[in-house]
Amino acid sequence: MNPTNLRYTKDHEWIKVEGTKGIVGVTNFAQQQLGDIVYVDMPQTGTSLTAGKTFGVVESVKTVSDILAPVSGKVIAKNSDLENDPALVNQDPYGRGWIIEVELSDPEEQKNLMDADSYEKHCNQCEH
């Protein structure tokens, strides 16, 4: 089950918005599909993001996958723990495996994202 306090993209990223800031990561579905994650490429603090555009890469033993920004804004923090332990994304995708924190340029953008129920239905379609 996906946390109901998050918003989701069709490309399996999540965001937890609090005010004008948001924490971004990849979903449990994504980490299961990727397999054992061995590297996470994250943008530097201060990098501008555009919703729907690539901001980083998750590399697993099976594949390399782009990470797309769920919203537009500026990176204000990155999860430096992932540099030494990228498997945190596998172990705790909605907690310690977060990737970046963003200052949203338009908090209304999050309304374009799916809630947990819609995302669950989307994942069920992806598996067929």
Task: Count structural domains, the chain.
Answer: 1
pLDDT (mean) for 8-30: 96
Q: Is residue 41 part of a domain?
A: yes
Residue owning tokens 């599909």: 33
- Sign of the torsion angle spanned by Cα atoms 64, 65, 66, 71: negative
pLDDT (mean) for 101-118: 95
pLDDT (mean) for 7-17: 97
CATH number, position 34: 2.40.50.100
Q: Is residue 1 part of a domain?
A: no
Q: Is residue 99 part of a domain?
A: yes
Q: Note down the domain range covering 62.
A: 7-126
Q: Which helix H or strand E contains 122, and what residues bound it?
A: helix 116-126
Q: Is residue 38 part of a domain?
A: yes
Residue 72: phi and psi, rounded to 5, are -90, 150
